[in-house]
Chains A and B, each alone.
Chain A
C-alpha cells in the first residue's frame, strides 16, 4: 500500500491543487458540517417536542379552565338521548374525550416515531426518503436539503432519548417543591427542572454531534457532495485511492478532535458554575 508513496502523494497533490480538486473538497467539507449542524438543530427541535410529550403526566385530565368550559358547555345540552344525537352532543363529548387523552395519544405516536427512526439505518432512511417518499409526495429538493431533513428526523429520535434521560435525571423533589409553592406544571419545568436538565444534556448532545459528523459520510449515496464524495472523485480521476482516503481520515479525525476540545472546555465551564459559592 505504501510503496511508491511519494509518487502517489505527488499525483494526489496535482489532482488536489493543479486540477482544482480542492474546490470540491472545500465544498464537501462545508456540506458535511452544514448537514451535521442543521441536522442537529432540527433534531433538537424534534427531540425537545418528543421529550416534553414523553415526560408529561398522562392522566386523562384537562387543564381545569378548559375542563370547566367543556362542563358548562355540555351541561346546556338536552338530557334525552335522541335529542343529544340530533344536537351533536356526542361529537363534542368525543372531542373532549380525545383532548383529555391527547398526551397519551401523542406519546404513542412519538414512541412509534422513535422506534422507526432508531430501528432502521440512516442510509436506508436517506435512500427511501430521497428516491422514493419525497418524489412520490411531489416534493422536489436537492440531495443536500433532503440529507439535512433526513438527518434532522433521524437525530430527533436520538436527541429525544437524550433529553428525556436528562429530564429524568433531575431529582423528582425539585418538581414537587416547585409545585408545592404554587407554580404550574409547565412553569415548574421551565424554571426549575429544565435548567438543571440542560447541564446533564449538553455533553451528551456534543457526542451526538460528533456521531452526526461521521454519519453524514453517506450522503454521497443520494448524490450530495460531501467530504467522502470529493475525495472519491480525486481518487477516481487518478485511479489512485491510497492518499485521498488517508487524507480523508485525517480530516475527519481533526474535525472530531477539534469538536471534542470545544466540548471539554464547555464541560469544564459548566462544572465550574456548579461549584459556585
Chain B
C-alpha cells in the first residue's frame, strides 16, 4: 500500500535517513524500533510528509506523495497519525476534536459529490454534520470515552487524551495509521489502556506503522519488525526471528539494553 523507495532525509548537513526502501502491505502491522537519534521517528514522519523527504519516493495510491507537486492534504486524510504528545486541539472539546476534520473537509467535497448520481451519502452540510457527529460519538464509545464528549482536552488524563487522538485519526476512515511513540509520554498505569485499544485495532485488520519502545507489544502485535540504525534498515523480520535470533550486532546490542 505504501512503497518507500530510497528515502533520504537531511536536516541541513545532518543526514538522518540514508536510503530506506520498504513496502508496507495492506493489513500489515509494522513495528519500527531503534535507538533514539537513529531516525525512526523521522522515517515515520516522512511517510505522510510531515517532514518533506530530501530525495526518494513514497508511493501511496499510485502517486508519489513525496513530490511537492502533489496535493498532500488529500492523501493525509487517508493516512492517520497519532502523536507522542497527543496534540489534541486545545480549543475544541473532545467531540469537536473527533468530528472537526471529517465535517470541515467533507463539506468542501459535498458539491462535487452531489453531482455523482450513485452518491447516496449526506447531501447538505446539516446532514453531513449530523452524520459526522453520530460517527464521532460511535468512535468515542468505541474508545470508551463517550461520557467525555463535551469535555475539553485539558481536563483529560494522558491515556484518555491518546484514546481521543486515536478516535480522531479513525474518524477520517484512514487506510493506514502511523503511531509515533504513542505511549512514551504516558504515565505507566495508562500505557495499558492505549496498547489494549491499539491491539483491538490491529485485530480488526487496520494497517498500522508503529514506532515504539514497547518490545512486548511489538512481539505480540507486529507482523514485521524493522530495526533502524544510523538512518538505514539494519534488520527486518517477523517478531519471532527478530527477537529470537537477531543477526545484526547493533540490534543484538540494542536488544540487550532494552529487554
Question: Do the beta carbons of A173 and B101 come within 8 Å of each other?
Answer: no
Task: Give the docked Cα–Cα distance between A187 and B4 (Å).
Answer: 29
Task: Establish whether residues A177 and B83, one from each chain, have CB atoms under 8 Å apart when the complex forms.
Answer: yes
Measured between alpha carbons, how far is A196 from B89 in the docked complex, in Å? 9
User: Which of A171, A177, A182 has the most chain B CB atoms closer than 10 A to its own CB?
Assistant: A182
Nearest Cβ on chain A to B199's Cβ, whole angstroms: 22
Which residues of the partner chain A approach B172 to less than 8 Å between Cβ atoms? 181-182
User: Per a CB cutoff under 8 Å, which of B68, B73, B79, B104 touches A191?
Assistant: B104
- A183 near B89: Cβ-Cβ < 8 Å: no
How long is the Cα–Cα vector from A196 to B151 in the complex, in angstroms?
Answer: 17
Contacts of A275 on B, CB cut-off 8 Å? 154
Cβ of B89 and Cβ of A177 under 8 Å apart? yes
Interface residue? B70 (CB, 8 A): yes
Seen from chain A, the residues whose Cβ lies within 8 Å of a Cβ on chain B are 61, 64-65, 67-68, 71, 171, 173-174, 176-184, 187, 191-192, 195-196, 274-277
State the CA gap A177–B72 with chains docked (Å).
14
* Contact status of A192 and B91, CB under 8 A, knowing A176-B83, A277-B151: yes
The interface residues of chain A lying within 8 Å CB-to-CB of B48 are 180
Among the listed B68, B81, B91, B92, which residue makes an inter-chain contact with A64, where contact means beta carbons less than 8 Å apart?
B68
Is there contact, CB below 8 Å, between B101 and A181?
yes
Contact A174 B74 (CB under 8 A): no
Q: In the assembled complex, how far is the CB of residue A64 from the closest CB belonging to chain B, in whole angstroms?
A: 5
Q: Which residues of chain A come closer than 8 Å to B203, judged between CB atoms?
A: none
Known contacts A67-B68, A176-B50; is A181 also within 8 Å of B91 by CB?
no
By a CB distance below 8 angstroms, the chain B residues around A196 are: 90-91
Minimal beta-carbon separation of A55 from chain B (angstroms): 18
Bound Cα distance A106, B71 (Å): 25
Q: How far is the CB of B12 from chain A (nearest CB, A)?
A: 14
Interface bracket on B = 35 or more
CB distance from A75 to the nearest CB of B (A): 13
Q: Is B100 an interface residue (CB 8 A)?
A: yes
Contact of B73 among A171, A177, A182, A192 (CB under 8 A): A182
CA of A275 to CA of B217, assembled, Å: 36
Whole-angstrom CA separation of A65 from B72 in the bound complex: 11
Query: Complex formed: what's the CA distance from A277 to B101 in Å?
Result: 22
Report which B residues bind A (CB closer than 8 A).
48, 50, 68-74, 76-77, 79-81, 83, 85-92, 100-101, 104-105, 150-152, 154-155, 165, 168-169, 172
Beyond the given pairs A182-B77, A277-B155, 15 more chain A to chain B contacts, judged by CB atoms under 8 angstroms and listed by A's residue number, are A64-B68, A64-B70, A173-B87, A174-B90, A176-B50, A176-B87, A177-B165, A179-B50, A180-B50, A180-B83, A181-B81, A191-B104, A195-B91, A196-B91, A276-B152
Chain A interface SS verdict (over half):
helix
Asked if B71 and A177 make an inter-chain contact with CB atoms under 8 angstroms apart, the answer reads no
Of all chain A residues, which has the CB nearest B78?
Answer: A182
Contacts of B50 in A (CB 8 A): 176, 179-180
Residue on B nearest A65 in the bound complex, by CB: B71
Chain B residues, Cβ within 8 Å of A61: 68
Closest residue of chain B to A71, judged by CB?
Answer: B69
Contact status of A67 and B69, CB under 8 A, knowing A174-B89, A277-B151: yes
CB pair A183–B68 under 8 Å, yes or no, is: no
* Contact A184/B88 with A177-B83, A191-B100 known, Cβ cut-off 8 Å: no
Give every chain A residue within 8 A of B105 (Cβ-Cβ). Answer: 181-183
Q: Which residues of B contact A184 (CB under 8 A)?
A: 73
21 A/B residue pairs, CB under 8 Å, sorted by A: A64-B71, A67-B68, A171-B90, A177-B81, A177-B165, A179-B73, A180-B48, A180-B50, A180-B81, A181-B77, A181-B81, A181-B101, A181-B172, A182-B74, A182-B172, A183-B73, A183-B101, A187-B104, A191-B100, A192-B89, A196-B90
A79–chain B nearest beta-carbon distance, Å = 21
Please measure, in the bound complex, the distance between the C-alpha atom of A105 and the C-alpha atom of B231, giving whole angstroms: 35
Q: Are B152 and A277 in contact (CB under 8 A)?
A: yes
A181 to B88, CA, bound (A): 11
Q: Which residue of A lies closest to B67 (CB)?
A: A64
Question: Which residue of chain B is the closest to A187 with respect to CB atoms?
Answer: B104
The answer on a CB contact under 8 Å between B101 and A174 is no
Q: In the complex, what residues of B have CB within 8 A of residue A195's CB? A: 91
Question: Which residues from chain B contact A180 at a C-beta distance below 8 Å?
Answer: 48, 50, 76, 79-81, 83
Q: Indicate the member of B50, B90, B91, B154 with the most A CB atoms within 10 Å.
A: B91
CA distance A192 to B48 in the complex (A): 20
Say whether B76 contacts A181, CB under 8 Å.
yes
Bound CA–CA A176/B165 (angstroms): 13
Give complex CA distance A54, B151 in Å.
34
Q: Rank and list the top 8 A-B pairs by shortest CB-CB distance, nearest first.
A: A182-B77, A177-B87, A173-B87, A181-B101, A180-B81, A182-B76, A195-B91, A182-B73
